[in-house]
Amino acid sequence: MAQVIGGITTSHIPAIAIAIANKSYDDPYWKPFFDAYPPVHEWLADEKPDVAVVIYNDHGLAFFLDQMPTFAIGAAHEYRNEDEGWGIPTIAPFAGNPLMSWHIIEQMVADEFDITSCQEMAVDHGFTVPMQLFWPDRGPDMPTVIPIVANTVQHPIPTVKRCYDFGRALGKAIRSYPEDVKVVVLGTGGLSHQLDGERAGFINKEFDLMCMEKLVSDPQSLTSITRHELIRQAGTQGSELIMWMMMRGALSDEVTVLNQNYHIPISNTGAGTMLLACND
Amino acid sequence: MPDTIKQSEVADPEPPAIPGTTIFDGRQAMKGYALNKMCYSFNAAAARDDFVADEEAYMAAFGLNEDQKAAVRDRNVLDMIACGGNVYYLAKLAGILGLSVQDIGAQQTGMTTEEFKQKLLGAAR
């Protein structure tokens, strides 16, 4: 049976893609951020997961406001990165795992989470930046991918509680897959940031650190945060915390923190990285 | 009312406002549809070229209203948001105009880009 071995969170800001393209790893601005990733590379090299479930939000590449799914799951053989319009170099496609995608979709809908299934889905920086951060060399051990998109673009976005419950159902769906595959779940985006309005540049270190702590010790307690309160505390784009909640729900109740980092600022954002191993 | 309804988060028609913040909801999405659709088109390089070649014709083709056209002509991000613009799509327009997210942050908060970057660094303390 499939096994969830752990979860990794990271911010997925487009500026990181530019920094990777420019190899700015030792630049004084970037070093405190990139230094969080070698321990993740070592863990992935040891564990060699077969599948990465990548939870992110689309920023206007795959989806527009004409049709905006609340939760979409990719079921494609291949996921292509395409031009987002403002200068991130596009990178090579990623191999999908459509049979496992369909298993997850079927199990999720049976569990009353109604899913938009996507046999074609372009992936933007929300997907590619985490993949580049975690698998910079894209070597022979590169996992196949299953992208999952949550709507953070247009309100009503799903509630924090719904996202955590989604993750619980996702974990159950993964573990019921009959193949012996090792699965890592990526929760991407965040942490606090706001790009728009007179409050642009808002970052809330205290709230971010509280979320990182509770995500490990008591994720259920975060589900009482309303969406409005989340925007107030984390900024308009800080709503991306919901993808971390989806990831956390898919892991075992008890997890071990193998590595974590929090750094301000990367671009306009409080950037968080966590490597969590399942204890079951 | 059953307890399950009371305990869940219900849609609040008038939540307390968050200063300096516009929640991009259905009302904003209706208002800004043409502007956002134009910005979404900028994923394609040919569309970006067409816009640069003739901004007025490009805006007219997407049916922007006069307020939206004026906001684009003025390169004024707060006005674009007031007209229903969503920052994820506006970012694609900002890219054509050569503006980074720090530049548009500075513009919206009435700072220079350098001052805005210092404000971000200050959040670490």
Helix/strand/coil (H/E/C) assignment for every residue in B76-125: CHHHHHHCCCCHHHHHHHHHHCCCCHHHHHHHHHCCCHHHHHHHHHHCCC
The catalytic residue positions of A are 125, 193
pLDDT tens track for A196-238: 999 999 999 999 999 999 999 999 999 999 999 999 999 999 9
pLDDT of residue A243: 98
Residue A136: pLDDT over 90: yes
Check: CATH 3.30.70.20 for A3-278?
no
pLDDT band at B1 (very low <50, low <70, confident <90, very high): very low
- Averaged confidence pLDDT in chain A: 97
Cβ neighbours of A159 in B, within 8 Å: 9
- Residue B125 — pLDDT band, cuts 50, 70, 90? confident
pLDDT of residue B83: 98
CB A193 within 8 A of CB A237: yes
Residue B62 reports pLDDT greater than 70 = yes
CB contact under 8 A, B123 and A83: no
Which domains are present in chain B? 26-98 (1.10.700.10)
Contact at CB, A83 and B43, closer than 8 angstroms: yes
For residue A269, give the nearest of A12, A5, A41 by alpha carbon. A12
Structure tokens at A174: 């993964």
pLDDT at B7 exceeding the cut of 80: no
Alpha-helical (H) ranges within B8-83 are 26-31, 33-41, 45-53, 55-61, 66-73, 77-82
Instruction: Report residue A86's pLDDT band, with 50, 70 and 90 as the boundaries.
Output: confident
Q: Given B12, B21, B105, which is nearest A231 (Cβ)? A: B21
| pLDDT, average across residues B62-79 | 98
> How far apart are the C-alpha atoms of A187 and A184, rounded to whole Å?
10
A272: tokens are 């968080």
pLDDT of A75 strictly over 70: yes
| Chain segment A146-156, per-residue pLDDT in tens | 999 999 999 99
Interface mutation target, options A90, A191, A192, A195, chain B, most CBs of B under 10 Å: A195
- Nearest Cβ partner for B109 among A61, A159, A200: A200
Contacts 24+ apart (CB under 8 A), A118-122: A118/A62, A118/A72, A118/A73, A118/A74, A118/A75, A118/A76, A119/A75, A119/A76, A120/A76, A121/A62, A121/A72, A121/A74, A121/A76, A121/A79, A121/A147, A121/A149, A122/A61, A122/A62, A122/A79, A122/A80, A122/A81, A122/A82
Q: Nearest C-alpha of chain B: how many angstroms from A199?
A: 5
Distance (Å) from the alpha carbon of A229 to chain B's nearest alpha carbon? 9
* Distance from the A50 Cα atom to the nearest Cα atom in chain B, whole angstroms: 32
Q: Which residues in chain B are contacts of A66 at CB distance < 8 A?
A: 37
- Kindly tell me if the per-residue pLDDT of B5 is higher than 60: no
Coil/strand/helix, residue A98: helix
Neighbouring CB atoms inside 10 A of B109's CB total 18
Q: Strands A144-150, A71-74: parallel, antiparallel or unpaired by DSSP?
A: antiparallel
**Partner-chain residue, chosen from A155, A201, A236, that has the shortest CB–CB distance to B116:** A201
Q: What is the pLDDT of residues A8-47, one digit of tens each?
A: 999 999 999 999 999 999 999 999 999 999 999 999 999 9
Which chain A residues touch B123 with a CB distance below 8 Å?
201, 203, 205, 264-265, 270
Beta carbons within 10 angstroms of residue A193's beta carbon: 33
**Complex ipTM:** 0.95
Decide if A232 and B96 are in contact by the 8 Å CB cutoff.
no
Task: Sort strands A269-278 and A255-266 into parallel, antiparallel or unpaired.
Answer: antiparallel
Closest residue to A199, CB basis, from B19, B39, B101:
B19
